[in-house]
Amino acid sequence: MSVGPVVRDEATAAFFDGTAAGQFLLRHCQAGHFSEPAATQCTTCGATELTWQPATGLARLVSWTVSYGKAADGEPPPRTLLVIGELDEGPWWWSQLADVDPAAAGRLTVGARLRIEFRRAAAEHEAVPVFVLTARA
């Protein structure tokens, strides 16, 4: 599975600084709520003063699907296993499930434990968070 290259901009710079350091950062308000990285206000209480806080990177599987790419040169289309994980801090994150053959998607179960890892399309690209299955249920 390959991770597509992404390019940072002003809005994503702090997030990608975190991924480069091996941290998955979430937005956090003074009341203690966590929101997804793109949040400009707390998704629980509406506070607009948010800081970046590292998440544990652990989650539970909520849903999944297999995405089919475009076939090329008579080859079968590439497949990517896409999942939604509910982070232990609360927000949901959508990403690829790495190191699992998409043909095995039927063996996944809601609630399976996930962990965020970081992958790059190439050395010059940003580290992108992807999920992997953990051994812990």
Residues 94 and 86: beta-carbon distance below 8 Å: no
Residues 134, 121: Cα–Cα separation, whole Å: 23
Cα 93 to Cα 136: distance, rounded to the nearest angstrom: 19
Model confidence over 106-115: pLDDT tens digits?
A: 999 999 999 9
All domains of the chain in start order, with CATH: 13-133 (2.40.50.840)
Compute the distance between CA of residue 42 and CA of residue 129 in angstroms, rounded to an integer.
22
> For the segment 15-40, what is each residue's pLDDT rounded down to a tens digit?
999 999 999 999 999 999 999 999 99
What ranges make up the beta strands (E) of the chain? 25-29, 34-35, 50-54, 58-68, 79-87, 92-96, 113-119, 128-133
Q: Which amino acid is residue 75, in one-letter code?
A: E
With 0-12 / 13-18 / 19 or more C-beta atoms within 10 angstroms meaning exposed / middle / buried, residue 17 is: middle
pLDDT of residue 119: 94
Over residues 123-135, the pLDDT tens digits come to: 889 999 999 999 7
State the pLDDT confidence band at 137, using cuts at 50, 70 and 90: very low
Give tens-digit pLDDT for 43-81.
Answer: 999 999 999 999 999 999 999 999 998 888 888 888 999
